[in-house]
A and B are shown apart, each in its own frame.
Chain A
Amino acid sequence: AQTVTQSQPEMSVQEAETVTLSCTYDTSESNYYLFWYKQPPSRQMILVIRQEAYKQQNATENRFSVNFQKAAKSFSLKISDSQLGDTAMYFCAFLGDKIIFGKGTRLHILP
């Protein structure tokens, strides 16, 4: 069965620092998609970044980038130059035969 593990329940970093959120998953599928979603305190979840498993190149969206290691089944999110507005819950999601979300990492950006 597919699983998604986010091993960091909570993290805090200073504004402008770089932070990496970890996500590992388990699957026997070869073709799947991975997403990072952000849920700010107002609760509306929004997509941060996506990665197709068949693409070797790591996805990047402005200050957000991923380190996708398919063999290791790892999909970490790096936030560069963190901002106060990055404070939120971050969810890693696996979309393959099933849609599976991790438990989330609560990220606090400190002024």
Chain B
Amino acid sequence: ETGVTQTPRHLVMGMTNKKSLKCEQHLGHNAMYWYKQSAKKPLELMFVYNFKEQTENNSVPSRFSPECPNSSHLFLHLHTLQPEDSALYLCASSQTFKSYGGGYNEQFFGPGTRLTVL
């Protein structure tokens, strides 16, 4: 496989369940991102990892817990979610979070996980 892959593609869970979303990139990148895409709302950046270190956490509720064991893998652990957390969760990667000169590298996105919380 190439590019950025995400599993599962679809997930339905109850509010008391615990589940995890997985993202894997095969591009040799060092930065990985989680985004939330809700209907009729802007894409929201949730977390950024650069060289396995979390560099951004945009006030995301603690029921979302990211994990980045290495530069190729990123997880989003979910527990006690709410129905309003139902959305498409997108993973992305880039060479680094910011380039040496301070600029931004292109992000490559995965196909997303469609999450439904009942």
A44 proximity list for chain B (CB < 8 A) = 109-112
> Shortest CB–CB separation between residue B50 and chain A, in angstroms?
13
Which chain A residues in 36-64 approach chain B with CB under 8 Å?
37, 42-47, 50, 52
B74 CB within 8 Å of chain A: no
A84 CB within 8 Å of chain B: no
Number of CB contacts from chain A to chain B under 8 A: 41
Which chain B residues in 7-26 approach chain A with CB under 8 Å?
none
Complex formed: what's the CA distance from A71 to B85 in Å?
38
Query: Do residues A47 and B43 form an inter-chain contact, with CB atoms below 8 A?
Result: no
Grouping DSSP codes into helix (H, G, I), strand (E, B) and loop, the A interface class, with mixed when no group exceeds half, is strand
B45 proximity list for chain A (CB < 8 A) = 98-99, 101
> Shortest CB–CB separation between residue A31 and chain B, in angstroms?
7
Q: Would you give 8 A-B contacts (Cβ < 8 Å), ordered by A? A: A35-B106, A44-B109, A45-B90, A47-B106, A47-B107, A99-B56, A103-B41, A104-B43
**Which B residues are within 8 Å of any A CB, using their own CB?**
40-45, 56, 88, 90, 92, 102-104, 106-112
**Which A residues are within 8 Å of any B CB, using their own CB?**
4, 31, 33, 35, 37, 42-47, 50, 52, 91, 93, 95, 98-104
